[in-house]
Amino acid sequence: MPYIYGMILPFLTIASSSNRGRGVFTTEKIEKGTIIEIAPVIVLNPEERAHVEKTLLYDYIFEWGTDHQSAAVALGYVSIYNHIADPNCAYQMDFEEQTITITTIKDILIGEELLINYMNPEGASDKSVWFDTF
């Protein structure tokens, strides 16, 4: 089977998220362990990253690569998932295939927002995020 470079389940939607702008929600129940999105990314080298960090896109990019010097702009819904310390989703970065995969780590109810932890791709973390330090 060929590698899948892009997929979003059809029951995911973008909607208003209280105190967070927009977020990703579900219109169906989702079981723990479900891959809900595989998003291709556009990789920025360190020089390009430095330019993007001076723009609004700074809040939407992911550190990329084993040395964390590059950045990635995720396509699909990935850049819209909001942060929480104890999320219901995790994400996996595939540097070789240049994708980010979102997987549920808890059962999700209809209408629930899908959340990730920006500081820990695997789930919960008590590390501070940059926007909580201001």
- For residue 111, being part of any structural domain is answered with yes
Q: State yes or no: pLDDT of 121 exceeds 80.
A: no
- For residue 128, being part of any structural domain is answered with no
Q: What is the pLDDT of residue 130?
A: 47
The tally of domains found in the chain comes to: 1
Q: Report the percent of the chain where pLDDT is more than 70.
A: 89
Q: What is the pLDDT of residue 129?
A: 52
- For residue 2, being part of any structural domain is answered with no
DSSP states of 8-46 as a string? E-TTEEEEEETTTEEEEEESS-B-TT-EEEEEEEEEE-H
Q: What is the pLDDT of residue 42?
A: 97
Q: State yes or no: pLDDT of 131 exceeds 60.
A: no
- For residue 134, being part of any structural domain is answered with no
Q: What is the pLDDT of residue 118?
A: 87
pTM of the full predicted structure?
0.88
CATH code where residue 33 lies: 2.170.270.10
Q: Which two tokens stand for residue 90?
A: 């995790």
Instruction: Name the average pLDDT for the chain.
Output: 90
- For residue 131, being part of any structural domain is answered with no
Band the pLDDT of 18: cuts 50, 70, 90.
Answer: confident
Q: Report the percent of the chain where pLDDT is more than 90.
A: 78
- For residue 92, being part of any structural domain is answered with yes
Per-residue pLDDT reduced to its tens digit, 51-65: 999 999 998 999 999
Q: Using the structure block, give the residue that is written with the tokens 């979102």.
A: 102
Q: What is the pLDDT of residue 64?
A: 97
Strand partners, 35: 103
Domain containing 23 equals: 7-122
Q: Whole-angstrom Cα distance, residue 71 to residue 58?
A: 10
- For residue 130, being part of any structural domain is answered with no
- For residue 132, being part of any structural domain is answered with no
Q: State yes or no: pLDDT of 14 exceeds 60.
A: yes
